[in-house]
Amino acid sequence: MTTQRTQVAILGAGPAGSLLSLLLKQAGVDSVIVERRSREHVAARIRAGVLEHGSAETLRGLGIGQRMQREGHVHEGVELAFAGRRLRIDFQRLTGVPVIIYGQTEIQKDLYVALDEAGCSVLDDAEDVALHDVTSSTPSVTFTRDGTATRVVCDFVVGCDGFHGVSRSAIPESALRTYERVYPFGWLGILSETPPVSDELIYANHARGFALCSMRNPQLSRYYVQCPLEAKVEEWSDDRFWEELKQRLPADVAGRLVTGPSVEKSIAPLRSFVAEPMRHGQLFLAGDAAHIVPPTGAKGLNLAMSDVVLLSRALDQHYHRGSSELLAAYSETALRRVWRAVRFSWWMTSLLHRFPEGGAFSQRLQETELDLLAESAPAQQVLAQQYVGQL
């Protein structure tokens, strides 16, 4: 078995792990990323695309936001459609900042280019990844790559390997508390090479179920409709999807919807999940390894980026100022923001989706709450602040 030494071993080369490695490189802290999938697989994963202002600023601060600036879509608000009405939440007026629509797939490509240019170490296609001695001063990660068994000895391990990764399972059940809410529906989403129906996102509350109109670029649209958990992708032809989407959108929006063949179609279940604490010994959790939120609030990617920004500052302080104060506070600090995002995502999900047990009574309550939101400038401001990441 070969042995390597680094300061920080990062599990997972997705946006959280890649961003952390770059932030640490900028701070003069050595790291190694261990990724069990191929680079092509990681770069091709289709995920969220809404960047909070702070997340976009983080990318700009690393000097890797140029393509985002050219190809991303600056959104100064979103629309909520309900009961034949439209309510625009004006981010720019209410918060002073916009969000940017830029697909996670594109972010990952930019991060990989930056990792290569910075000379960061990324070991992909790693098999049988395991963590060892995470409560000692010399934890390690073992894996097999290209037939060679390797051990990476380090000071700290950061688990950015997602909900199904090995990091969280390295924490004993007796030391971990988990909280979970599984929602009784999913999102059926498609990508189509058609112009978006709107310049801004449209969230639709309808008696038939939730719908969302989003985009990736001027000729690539992303649409979703709420569907039962037991639904199968093969049951949904493109024609059926478009017809269902049109029924859930305002008539004027449906009338200008450009349809076409889907280039990707999938069903995503919705859940809220939090693991506490986000530190065990020298092991830190970040991103989906520690928390999952339904995509309604556009928080998943932004939370992951927030986690690793906190960690990079804490590790910088540890190595260059001889203080572990921020490391000690990491879990508590991160979880404060996580739970606020969980609450916001839960609220958005509860407000906009049709729950099987709710019936007409629940639908009218949702419409009433949306009506109250439309009449309350302070409520709109709170929604906007949470959406752009100010609360």
The residues that are catalytic are: 75, 203, 295, 299, 387
Alpha-carbon distance of 267 to 189, in angstroms, equals 6
Alpha-carbon distance of 267 to 286, in angstroms, equals 25
Determine contact, residues 107/68, Cβ cutoff 8 Å: yes
User: Looking at the DSSP assignment, which residues form a beta bridge with residue 106?
Assistant: none
DSSP letters for 226-253 = EE-TT--GGG--HHHHHHHHHHHS-HHH
**Sign of dihedral through CA atoms 72, 77, 81, 85?**
negative
Alpha-carbon distance of 53 to 94, in angstroms, equals 14
Q: φ, ψ for residue 66 (rounded to 5)?
A: -65, -45
Q: With 0-12 CB in 10 A as exposed, 13-18 as middle and 19+ as buried, what is 152? A: buried
Q: What is each CA distance from 193 to 30, 109, 254, in whole angstroms?
A: 42, 20, 17
- Provide the residue type at 320 as one letter: H
324 alpha carbon, distance to own chain's centre: 28
Q: Find the farthest-apart pair of alpha carbons in the chain and give their distance in angstroms, rounded.
A: 66
- What would the two tokens of residue 110 be? 């930019």
Q: Is the backbone of residue 12 left (phi > 0), alpha (psi -120 to 50) or beta?
A: left
Q: Which residues, including other chains, have CB under 8 Å from residue 314's CB and lie 6 or more apart?
A: 324, 326, 327, 329, 330
Alpha-carbon distance of 309 to 171, in angstroms, equals 23
Alpha-carbon distance of 193 to 256, in angstroms, equals 15
